[in-house]
Structure 1
Amino acid sequence: MEMKKLGDIVLFKVPEEMELTNAQDIKRFVYENSFDKGLKKVILDFSETKYIDSTGLGTMVALHKQALMNAGAVVFLNLDSNIKNLLKMTALDRILNIYDNEREAIEFLNK
């Protein structure tokens, strides 16, 4: 999983799929490279992600909760229409921080 730092923000590129076989590894990688190091602002870039199952959704919620517990935030960036529809159906679009533009995501995190 690709990662880059943007000041005090860490951006992670999510792979093509986020599902049962890799969701825990993704969560662990994000924790180890952000929350465990005291970094509280995280962007997950889904520009290459085409499929998410219920385990992937659970991972998104877990990362969101962990950020809130650390007085931080996670932004979910560049979700494709299928993933956005899935989040709408599960009402997670009302809870998660979803952006289509990296600049807006960074502005939100720097508020």
Structure 2
Amino acid sequence: MKKSLLENDIIKFEMPEEIDLVNSQEIKKTVYEESIEKGYKKVILDFSKTRYIDSTGLGIIVAIHKQTLMNAGALVLINFDSNIRNLLKMTSLDRIFNIFDSEKEAIEFLNK
């Protein structure tokens, strides 16, 4: 999972092709250690390579979102394919998360 530091202390993580029971805990640990524990309050998760998320993966994203909010930060999700976007709609998670189509939109939102 690749991470990169963007402008104004925004950190971005490129999510893997699949987020499931096998790798969810590692993803959660990496995001916590590399962002929240290092004081970054603005986190972008980029799903441009992700094609599959199971219920464990969704739970991890909810946990990261919660932890970010508890640290007075914000989490933004970008670049979903249509299948994952539909999954978020079916589970009503699209109402909870900040979801954008591009990194540019996400940065604009986080800089408000």
Shorter chain as normaliser: what TM range? over 0.9
Corresponding residue of 2:3: 3
Q: CA deviation at 1:87?
A: 0.5
Q: TM-score, normalised by structure 2?
A: 0.97
Aligned residues: 111
Corresponding residue of 2:42: 41
Take 1:60 and 1:99, find their aligned partners in 2: how far apart are those partners? 15
Corresponding residue of 1:15: 16
Take 1:83 and 1:5, find their aligned partners in 2: how far apart are those partners? 25
Identity %: 68
Three-state SS of the structure 2 residue aligned to 1:21 is coil
| Root-mean-square deviation over aligned CA pairs | 0.6
In the TM superposition, 1:15-94 aligns within 5 A as 15-94=16-95
Take 1:97 and 1:103, find their aligned partners in 2: how far apart are those partners? 14
Take 2:103 and 2:29, find their aligned partners in 1: how far apart are those partners? 23
Q: TM-score, normalised by structure 1?
A: 0.98
Take 1:28 and 1:86, find their aligned partners in 2: how far apart are those partners? 24
Q: CA deviation at 1:101?
A: 1.1
Gaps spanning 5+ residues in structure 1: where?
none
Letter in 2 for 1:2: K
Three-state SS of the structure 2 residue aligned to 1:108 is helix
Corresponding residue of 1:107: 108
